Amino acid sequence: MFFDPNLDSFSPADEAGKADKSRRQKALSTYGAALELSASDEKGAKNVAAFIEENGGIEASRIKWKGIQDGSEEAQKAEAKAKETRQKTFDTGLAALKAAKTASLRHLGITLR
């Protein structure tokens, strides 16, 4: 559950409780922004989960929505960083897949040129 009606009135006394409240508030904000982005697009309104996935996930959707809302340089930098991170993750996964497949083929005596 990420909607917490008692969150605003929750006043933690210790640092762990304050950190937990902050984490929960950020989650609410992030999910809300992703839903707002989905609702702003016809395709997103039809299939929220697929739309969010196509936009790079929850965090990337939050960043995109923030950029749309304020057009700030900070939002543009954050979106670029998120895209770069996704590309690096993709490249790393692709390299690992290529290495595994090459090793499997070598094991079978097949060499690619």
| Confidence category of residue 1, pLDDT binned at 50, 70, 90 | very low
User: 58-70 and 73-107 helices cross at what angle (nearest 10)?
Assistant: 150
pLDDT tens column, 39-60: 887 888 789 999 999 989 999 9
pLDDT top residue among 78 and 109: 109
What local confidence, expressed as pLDDT, does residue 98 receive? 92
Q: What is the pTM of this model?
A: 0.51
Distance CA 109, CA 18 (A): 59
Distance CA 110, CA 40 (A): 51
Contact 45, 39 (CB under 8 A): yes
